[in-house]
Amino acid sequence: MTRSETLFARAQQSIPGGVNSPVRAFRAVGGTPRFIAAAEGAYITDADGQRYVDYVGSWGPMITGHQDPDVIAAIRRQVSVGVSYGAPTELEIEMAELLCARVPGVAMVRMCNSGTEATMSALRLARGYTGRDYIIKFEGCYHGHGDALLVKAGSGALTFGVPTSPGVPADLAKYTLTAQYNQLDTVDALLAAHPGQIAAIIVEPVAGNMNCVPPADGFLQGLRERCTQHGAVLIVDEVMTGFRVHPRGACGLYGLEPDLITLGKIIGGGLPVGAFGGRAEIMQKLAPLGPVYQAGTLSGNPLAMAAGLAILRKLADAQLYQTLEQSTASLLEGLEQRASAAGVPFTTTQVGSMFGLYFTEQKAIRSFADVSRCDLDAFKRFFHAMLARGVYLAPSAYEAGFVSSRHGEAEIKLTLDAAEQAFAAL
């Protein structure tokens, strides 16, 4: 038995499924999850001492690689003066000022502890602000595991939401309407069916939780126009894309003006964090200024603020984003070439340093339905062939991959050499 196998067996005795977040269990790909012992730069090392080029990056936060020296130094400095106070600190002001300065549409911001908290709170705020109950989300978009957001359409976009998970009351889920990503007509149908009742439209500006689906031309702008016209709040969920796809996030990249925006992942430098912010008129409805309640024992945690500020200061560098985009492009170009040489139907998507891999004959991937038509079995076999050759991809065909600034030529070459063999073995 490998040490990961031993640990996985032991973990399952005391942790449901042996993991603290489901995708980590490798259910989608089969096999034993690798238990990680250490990480550095572009690499993670498992409990058996195997090293992998890591394209998960803690699911997005590690944009400058693991153990970024500036982040680690900032955490060390903060540890020496305290890890949590439950009272305000100057670090929180610095974080808020930085987010207001860099993120489009953010005049005020509140910190919380995860992306889930951020979207859940943004929804409550949108509902409190508009006095409306219904929300529109898109099939295949994930916004954390808050009750109202664990919903997708049952049959067709006009039906009431059915909960994706037991435990979400149907009476609550019925307020979550589901439209199709990149299809504005499905949004129009919902708006027409619920006049004056939609509190918010929430969207991933680049869908990164059904693999990686870029927005079609005009889609995001179309949502902006419809929200303005119908008095609904546009919530742009940038938990994944914020500071990932552009120095000013997806809103910066696409010139989109949100009403509310949610953030997480990168802004905590790898520590637990979330944030939501937006127009002052809406944010002022939050307690203690306004009636909409939201709070957190560890919110604005000094360690997370110190780590987040350290990373965000580095990310002011536009050159870094160009390099990231170029490395990602050469990775994807290389993968497509090797797939085609091996005769494997395969395509990729890219937005900045986010990417998607698809085993399919289709050339354009625009929707959840397109993603669902891909060959899941080929993905599984490719995943394991890569893992065996020292490359750690997301263990699911419905997750985006991430490149860090520590993925240099050597790491990309290692990945492409592994892929050449993996495609051939398919």
Residues contributing to the site for ligand PMP (CB under 6 A): 59, 114-116, 119, 142-144, 204, 208-209, 237, 239-240, 264, 274
- Shortest distance, position 240 Cβ to ligand PMP, whole Å: 4
Terminal C-alpha separation, the chain: 26
When the beta carbons of 66 and 143 are compared against ligand PMP, the nearer one is: 143
- Is the CB of 119 or the CB of 178 nearer to ligand PMP? 119
Cα 413 to Cα 49: distance, rounded to the nearest angstrom: 21
151 forms bridges with which residues in the sheet?
163
User: Each residue of 301-331: b (16+ CB within 10 Å) or e?
Assistant: bbbbbbbbbbbbebbeeeebbebbbebbbeb
The single residue of 142, 358, 392, 398 carrying the catalytic annotation is 142
- H/E stretch holding 274: strand 274-278
Rounded least distance, CB 274 to ligand PMP, Å? 6
Distance between CA atoms of residues 224 and 174, nearest Å: 24
Annotated catalytic residue 142: yes
* Nearer to ligand PMP (CB atom), residue 199 or residue 207: 207
Structure token pair of residue 314: 């580095």
Across 293-362, the runs of DSSP E, i.e. the strands, are 347-351, 354-358
- Closest separation in Å from C-beta 313 to ligand PMP: 22
How many other CB atoms sit within 10 Å of the CB of residue 217?
10
Question: Which of 46, 54, 68, 265 is labelled catalytic?
Answer: 265
Q: What is the Cα 336 distance to its own chain's centre?
A: 24
Q: Which is nearer to ligand PMP, 29 or 236 (CB)?
A: 236
Report how far residue 226's alpha carbon sits from residue 229's, in angstroms, rounded to the nearest whole number.
Answer: 5
Q: How far is the CB of 141 from ligand PMP (least distance, A)?
A: 7
| Spatial distance between the Cα atoms of 56 and 256, rounded to a whole number of angstroms | 27
Nearest distance, CB of residue 310 and ligand PMP, angstroms: 19
Long-range pairs, 391-394, Cβ under 8 A, ≥24: 391/52, 391/53, 391/55, 391/415, 391/418, 391/419, 392/34, 392/44, 392/52, 392/53, 392/54, 392/55, 392/56, 393/55, 393/56, 393/357, 394/23, 394/55, 394/56, 394/59
Closest CB to ligand PMP belongs to which residue? 115
The one catalytic residue in 46, 54, 68, 237 is 237
| Nearest-approach distance from CB 399 to ligand PMP, in angstroms | 8
> From the CB of 144, what's the least distance to ligand PMP, in Å?
3
Residue 215 or 375 having the CB closest to ligand PMP: 215
Give the whole-angstrom CA distance, residue 218 versus residue 19: 40
Location of structure tokens 């945690």? 301
Q: Which is nearer to ligand PMP, 344 or 365 (CB)?
A: 365
Name which of 65 and 115 has its Cβ closer to ligand PMP: 115
* Positions marked active-site: 142, 237, 265
